[in-house]
Amino acid sequence: MCGIVGYIGKKNTKKILLDGLKELEYRGYDSAGIAVLQQGEFSSYKATGKLINLQEKTKDFITDKFAVGIGHTRWATHGKPTELNAHPHVGESSYVVHNGIIENYAELKKELLTNGVTFLSQTDTEVIVHQFEKNLKTVSSPFEAFKETISQLQGAYAILLVTKSEPETIFFAKNGSPLLVGIDTDNDKYFASSDTPLIGYCSDVNYFEDGEYGYVTPDTLRIYSKEHQLQEPHFTKLPTNKLSAQKDGYRFFMEKEIYEQHDVITDTLLGRLSESSVHFDELETDFFEGIEEIKLCACGTSYHAALTASYLFERNSKIKTSVEVASELRYREPILSKDTLFVVISQSGETADTLETLKMAKNAGLKTLVICNVDNSSMVRLADASLLTRAGVEKGVASTKAFATQVTIFWMLSLYVAKEREALSQAEIIEQVALLREVPSSVKVSDALHERIKRLSKRYLHGHGFFFIGRDIFFPLALEGALKLKEISYLHAEGYPSGEMKHGPIALADPELFTIALLPQHLLYEKAKSNVEELSARDATICAISPLVFDKADDFIQTQSHKHYMLEFFEMMVILQLLSLEISIRLGNDVDMPRNLAKSVTVE
């Protein structure tokens, strides 16, 4: 997804912009560019593909004086990933970078074209710079022109604009796409669309709210609310530790993040468990009062965590629970009743569809909760309450540790609600709280396990597809296993409830159809086993994952013997993540930045 950086000051602007863009690489992009205004002249460079191409193009470009600069990594939405479509976009004497989508760009463009403006790109973004320059001709100052431009835009945006008509200024605006400004000890200002590019440069940052706009100069930072009131900035401390954002010797961030699950789940549990109950300081004691139903809503992997949660809520908390794909819920005019707690789940807290459903629920007067990994993200700021997953920065596009911590939080929350509603006995809660403490060890990767999966992976590089199958709560895990495999290996994979195979999919069974079968000991083992036997009888190639030896499988990964199905769930989750990782590595794919995908999907 697109990323933005900006800087105003006397330091090495080119380096600051390129370093910042590098930090945003993990979000996924297909082109990048910078524009720097130095001594009254603009220099702009753009390149498609990886950042190395932009670095190569700018290698002789020197920024050793006061300058204002903006940079962008683009993930194509309107127009192909070409150099012309890459940001920054240029007008007569101004440049703009933009994240989001300008919904009324076609109308604005039509009018600008009638006025004789020439467009160089196919993007929605380019209208911003031309509209600004058009306004500049009729109002008293560049700031007024910028303000006027913002009021003419509909849609979602984070915008930085620089112009020769005010060469010591960066104009900014934010609505629906994240943007923050940081300052360093020399009072130089930095912009970014997430905080990672600013770590190491700034100690304090201000996250802009929707509708805010304004400008920075070497001495000033002016922020206006959407009601055009001057705002005081609210600076908060930026984390300083960049180490966790590096690979630590692993081949890929995804691999590092799989191994980190033991530690991050420990953090997720920290301070939230006592002997006999679960505590969330973040929730008011009466938070669940009057709540008769839970509606969970998310996208992708977070949706699979939501599906998993629905089994836990109904089984443990005895509360009616439904699950929604955010992009579907948005437009299907759902009936939302006020005794429903609306829960959104998101690693990033910025996913556009999920964020919009949160707004919908709020507008309908529902109580809202977000399960999120990123503090200060849009969803965390908007929801009535938030539970942070504490997974740390997740750089691999394929979500792993975020999912693990989301499921952990949900298991805890189901017990928290169970206690409130007296849905489980005290003894049952004590038993599950003790089991929760065993989750970190259930996700520890042993050398033997990783080695086994590495060897096995070479047998699964071809064929005409994969089925991941499981029953009950292992069905959402099967869906997640299939998503993991397809997004990084580009092999076709589907997740199915084991019992559904005979209703159609089994027709595909043959030796070139690979079935990854989840066979936990403590949940419907016999039933799931017969479903796998049906596939085996039709000569499908089967890789069974179970603590109990299963001789009808072609391959078998034996898990540890756990006391409870949730511990089996977590161990199998790791196995599926490692299997996808190793298949993808053998196929020579870019594991951390798979094709066509972005880490944070901030457009619908």
Q: How far is the CB of 193 from ligand M6R (least distance, A)?
A: 14
Q: Is the peptide bond before 505 cis (omega within 30 degrees of 0)?
A: no
Task: Output the CA–CA distances (angstroms, integers) from residue 66 to 90, 202, 436, in the order listed.
Answer: 21, 18, 55
Residue of 347, 457, 489, 602 interacting with ligand M6R (CB under 6 A): 347
Q: How far is the CB of 600 from ligand M6R (least distance, A)?
A: 6
Q: Which is nearer to ligand M6R, 483 or 545 (CB)?
A: 483
Sign of the CA dihedral 462, 464, 465, 471? negative
Nearest to 183 by CA among 199, 161, 168, 205: 205
Nearest to 540 by CA among 464, 603, 482: 464
Q: Which is nearer to ligand M6R, 297 or 366 (CB)?
A: 297
Q: Which is nearer to ligand M6R, 133 or 257 (CB)?
A: 257
Helix or strand run (H / E) with residue 191: strand 189-192
Strand partners, 264: none
- Both tokens of residue 108? 């604005």
Binding mask 568-597 for ligand M6R (x = CB under 6 A): -----------------------------x
Residue of 123, 321, 354, 498 interacting with ligand M6R (CB under 6 A): 354
Residue of 4, 181, 299, 567 interacting with ligand M6R (CB under 6 A): 299
**One-letter identity of residue 140:** S
Q: How far is the CB of 109 from ligand M6R (least distance, A)?
A: 30
Q: How far is the CB of 601 from ligand M6R (least distance, A)?
A: 5
Neighbours of 246 (CB within 10 A): 12
CB 257 within 8 A of CB 400: yes
Q: Is 44 in the site for ligand M6R (CB under 6 A)?
A: no
Q: Which is nearer to ligand M6R, 133 or 394 (CB)?
A: 394
Task: Output the CA–CA distances (angstroms, integers) from residue 298 to 326, 343, 470, in the order listed.
Answer: 5, 9, 21
Neighbours of 12 (CB within 10 A): 15
Q: How far is the CB of 421 from ligand M6R (least distance, A)?
A: 28
Q: How far is the CB of 177 from ligand M6R (least distance, A)?
A: 14
Q: Is 300 in the site for ligand M6R (CB under 6 A)?
A: yes
Give the per-residue SS3 of 308-373.
HHHHHHHHHHCCEEEEEEHHHHCCCCCCCCCCEEEEEEECCCCCHHHHHHHHHHHHCCCEEEEEEC
Q: How far is the CB of 451 from ligand M6R (least distance, A)?
A: 25
- Piece of 71-79, 85-93, 394-402, 427-435 that binds ligand M6R (CB under 6 A): 394-402
**What would the DSSP string read from start to end of 214-243?**
EEE-SS-EEEE-TT--EE---EEEPP---G
**CA–centroid distance for 3 within its chain:** 13
Task: Output the CA–CA distances (angstroms, integers) from residue 69 to 13, 190, 286, 431, 575, in the order listed.
Answer: 6, 10, 49, 57, 45
Distance CA 467, CA 516 (A): 6
Q: Is 194 in the site for ligand M6R (CB under 6 A)?
A: no
Q: Which is nearer to ligand M6R, 73 or 346 (CB)?
A: 346
Q: How far is the CB of 514 from ligand M6R (least distance, A)?
A: 20
Residue of 16, 136, 269, 397 interacting with ligand M6R (CB under 6 A): 397
CB 17 within 8 A of CB 43: no
Q: How far is the CB of 580 from ligand M6R (least distance, A)?
A: 10
Q: Is 197 in the site for ligand M6R (CB under 6 A)?
A: no
Q: How far is the CB of 20 from ligand M6R (least distance, A)?
A: 21
CB 416 within 8 A of CB 422: no
Residue of 8, 312, 601, 603 interacting with ligand M6R (CB under 6 A): 601
- Both tokens of residue 177? 């796409």
- Both tokens of residue 494? 């589907």
Q: Which is nearer to ligand M6R, 316 or 354 (CB)?
A: 354
- Piece of 112-120, 176-184, 228-236, 295-303 that binds ligand M6R (CB under 6 A): 295-303
Q: Which is nearer to ligand M6R, 159 or 306 (CB)?
A: 306
Catalytic positions are 2, 599
Pairing assessment for the beta strands 204-207 and 213-216 based on DSSP bridges:
unpaired
Give residues 301-320 in contact with ligand M6R (rule: CB under 6 A).
301-302
Distance CA 438, CA 365 (A): 38
CB 103 within 8 A of CB 154: yes
Distance CA 564, CA 566 (A): 6
- Number of residues that this document lists for the chain: 604
Binding mask 80-99 for ligand M6R (x = CB under 6 A): --------------------
Q: Is 399 in the site for ligand M6R (CB under 6 A)?
A: yes
- Piece of 190-198, 347-355, 510-518, 537-545 that binds ligand M6R (CB under 6 A): 347-355
Distance CA 220, CA 66 (A): 15
Q: Which is nearer to ligand M6R, 301 or 489 (CB)?
A: 301
How many Cα atoms sit within 13 Å of 277 on the Cβ side? 11
Q: Which is nearer to ligand M6R, 69 or 396 (CB)?
A: 396
> Taking CA 298 as the corner, what is the angle to CA 293 and CA 299, rounded to the nearest 5 degrees?
155
Q: Is 206 in the site for ligand M6R (CB under 6 A)?
A: no
Using CB positions, name the residue nearest to ligand M6R. Answer: 300
Residue of 398, 404, 493, 543 interacting with ligand M6R (CB under 6 A): 398
C-alpha distance across the termini of the chain, in Å: 11
Binding mask 470-489 for ligand M6R (x = CB under 6 A): -------------x---x--
Q: Is 54 in the site for ligand M6R (CB under 6 A)?
A: no
Q: Which is nearer to ligand M6R, 207 or 215 (CB)?
A: 207
Pairing assessment for the beta strands 493-497 and 465-470 based on DSSP bridges:
parallel
Q: How far is the CB of 394 from ligand M6R (least distance, A)?
A: 9
Binding mask 485-514 for ligand M6R (x = CB under 6 A): --x---------------------------
Q: Which is nearer to ligand M6R, 91 or 300 (CB)?
A: 300
- Both tokens of residue 577? 């993540």
Contacts with ligand M6R by CB under 6 A lie at 299-302, 346-348, 351, 354, 397-399, 483, 487, 597, 600-601
